[in-house]
Amino acid sequence: MPQRGALVIYGRGADLGNFKFFADDLITTELASYGKENTSIKNIERRDAFFDLLLKPPLIIRELHIYSHSIGGGLYLGYKDPALSNERGLVAATTKPGSYLTVLNTEKGAVLTDDLVRQPYLGYREKIRANFDSNAKIKIWGCNSGITNWTYGDPTASGGSTADPNVAANYYYWRALNELNVPKPSIAQAFADYFRVPTYGAGSGSSIEVKYKGEWVSSTSFLKATRRRFVNEADVLRLAPDKGVYNEYKPR
């Protein structure tokens, strides 16, 4: 019988630090019942690598945990990757209305709700679903993955943002994603529907928490109590929503 267990994917943490530290700590916290032998941890920072892994996972997935920066409409596994940021800037300088697919294809470090309803990714769906256990769950550790009715905006000269395609802005890039499938579901809901697996996501931003004296405390409180300047790999870390808890989104 194929091995069943937990798969943990972590993207690029950037200003939140190395997400590997967070992923590793799941083995001693939320995934303690699986142990190292039944937990597989993978660093994924590109959309195609994400789908390739789920098409041929190292085990039948009972739990999929993802550490990633996110917004309502997507996961940004390659968040602030210099190569991705440079390519985005070059493309944004030339985009204009009608650039929906151009922008989707440029965002190689993201898994967006729009990806889940286009080819080739839509065509992977049934095969990927078969790689999940019948009682599986998905949890997205990070910010804003549960925010629904998402629309994209581009920055304006005044420092604001606009989703209106007819308003002058610094460029026409993110607004191209509003050309179809608007408003977007949250990425948590879109995952629940795509994988046919209940998915947990945050309806707000998230912050670092540290396990200290048996309790989860904010990183600010932890540093104040320990008189340290930083949290590091030796600490037990997680991300927690700034408001509420990780909410469950069921397949529709």
Residues 88-130: tens digit of each pLDDT: 999 999 999 999 999 999 999 999 999 999 999 999 999 999 9
Asked if the structure places residue 233 within a domain, the reply is yes
**Sequence-distant contacts of 124-127: CB under 8 A, at least 24 apart:** 124/51, 124/54, 124/55, 125/194, 125/195, 127/55
Asked if the structure places residue 54 within a domain, the reply is yes
In this predicted model, what pLDDT tens digit does every residue of 202-247 receive, in sequence order?
A: 999 999 999 999 999 999 999 999 999 999 999 999 999 999 999 9
Asked if the structure places residue 162 within a domain, the reply is no
Asked if the structure places residue 177 within a domain, the reply is no
Domain count, the chain: 1
Which CATH number covers residue 34? Answer: 3.40.50
CB 47 within 8 A of CB 106: no
Asked if the structure places residue 84 within a domain, the reply is no
Reported confidence tier of residue 2, pLDDT bands at 50, 70, 90: confident
User: Where in the sequence is the domain holding 70, given as residue range(s)?
Assistant: 4-79+104-151+182-249
CB 2 within 8 A of CB 43: no
Asked if the structure places residue 91 within a domain, the reply is no
